[in-house]
């Protein structure tokens, strides 16, 4: 059995309301096992008997996005992460966690999006970063920390808000990710 975390993009914000019980019901109706929703921000753990492969990953992602769109009436985008891979991502968080700072992990469904974010943030100390903000690429993710209360106002946050990232990027707080493990 392969175990995954589906990280939904843009739910329970901007008028798209997806209740956890309905979300879990949808995943079960799609044939997934061990379905569990975590928090109300679009995090679903599930397992499937489909063997893990790149083709299976693409098929699962497409199936889930289609199901979400049909059930909840919106253009659904998810990032699908193997559960064991998620544990490695959390363990590899590169910054010391301190008070006053929010620890985030950016997930992308395309490597191009991560490359663009990495390139933007590479100008540390320049106009591409804000005071107290820093970020570094990880294995298939981008690690980001920002002062509490400023996670929508920093240079990187404004860059990530661009429409071209809407379908490819989702961000999770490190504490949320730990709850998925």
Structure token digits, residue 106 = 């950016």
Say if residue 131 is in the same domain as residue 97: yes
Number of domains the chain contains: 2
Task: Bin 32: left if φ > 0, else alpha if -120 < ψ < 50, else beta.
Answer: beta
Q: Give the CATH number of the domain where residue 134 resides.
A: 3.30.70.1260
**pTM, entire model:** 0.91
In this prediction, residue 128 carries a pLDDT of 54
3-state DSSP call for residue 94? Answer: coil
Q: Return the axis-axis angle of helices 54-72 and 20-29, rounded to nearest 10°.
A: 130
For residues 133, 151, 162 and 171, what is the CA-based torsion angle, rounded to 10 degrees?
A: 100
- 44 beta partners: 6, 37
| Parts of the chain with a pLDDT under 70 | 12-15, 123-130
Say if residue 96 is in the same domain as residue 174: yes
Q: Which of 86, 121, 153 is the last residue of a domain?
A: 86
Say if residue 38 is in the same domain as residue 8: yes
In this prediction, residue 175 carries a pLDDT of 95
In this prediction, residue 123 carries a pLDDT of 67
Q: Give the CATH number of the domain where residue 78 resides.
A: 3.30.70.1280
Q: Residue 62 and residue 60: Cα distance in Å, rounded?
A: 5
Domain range enclosing 140: 92-179
Say if residue 77 is in the same domain as residue 103: no
Say if residue 69 is in the same domain as residue 98: no
Contact between 136 and 142 under an 8 Å Cβ cutoff? The reply is yes
Say if residue 96 is in the same domain as residue 78: no
> C-alpha angle with apex 97: 10 to 154, nearest 5 degrees?
50
Per-residue pLDDT tens digits for 72-87: 998 899 999 999 999 9
Say if residue 96 is in the same domain as residue 81: no
In this prediction, residue 95 carries a pLDDT of 96
Say if residue 66 is in the same domain as residue 120: no
Say if residue 78 is in the same domain as residue 147: no
Q: Which of 38, 55, 86 is the last residue of a domain?
A: 86
In this prediction, residue 12 carries a pLDDT of 66
Residues contacting 78, CB < 8 A, separation 6+: 6, 7, 8, 9, 61, 64, 65, 68, 109, 170
For residues 65, 67, 73 and 78, what is the CA-based torsion angle, rounded to 10 degrees?
A: -20
Say how many Å lie between the first and final Cα of the chain, rounded: 16
Say if residue 7 is in the same domain as residue 31: yes
Say if residue 127 is in the same domain as residue 58: no
Structure token digits, residue 69 = 């769109």
């Amino acid at each position: 059995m392969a175990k995954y975390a589906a990280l939904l993009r843009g739910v329970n914000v901007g008028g798209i309301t997806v209740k956890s019980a309905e979300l879990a019901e949808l995943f079960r109706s799609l044939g997934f096992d061990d379905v569990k929703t975590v928090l109300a921000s679009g995090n679903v753990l599930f397992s499937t008997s489909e063997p893990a492969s790149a083709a299976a990953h693409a098929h699962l992602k497409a199936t889930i996005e289609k199901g979400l769109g049909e059930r909840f009436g919106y253009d659904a985008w998810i990032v699908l992460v193997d559960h064991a891979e998620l544990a490695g991502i959390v363990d590899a968080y590169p910054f010391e966690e301190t008070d006053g700072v929010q620890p985030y992990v950016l997930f992308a469904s395309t490597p191009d999006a991560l490359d663009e974010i990495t390139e933007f943030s590479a100008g540390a100390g320049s106009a591409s970063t804000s005071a107290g903000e820093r970020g570094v690429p990880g294995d298939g993710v981008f690690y980001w920390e920002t002062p509490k209360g400023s996670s929508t106002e920093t240079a990187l946050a404004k860059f990530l808000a661009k429409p071209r990232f809407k379908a490819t990027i989702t961000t999770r707080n490190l504490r949320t990710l730990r709850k998925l493990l």
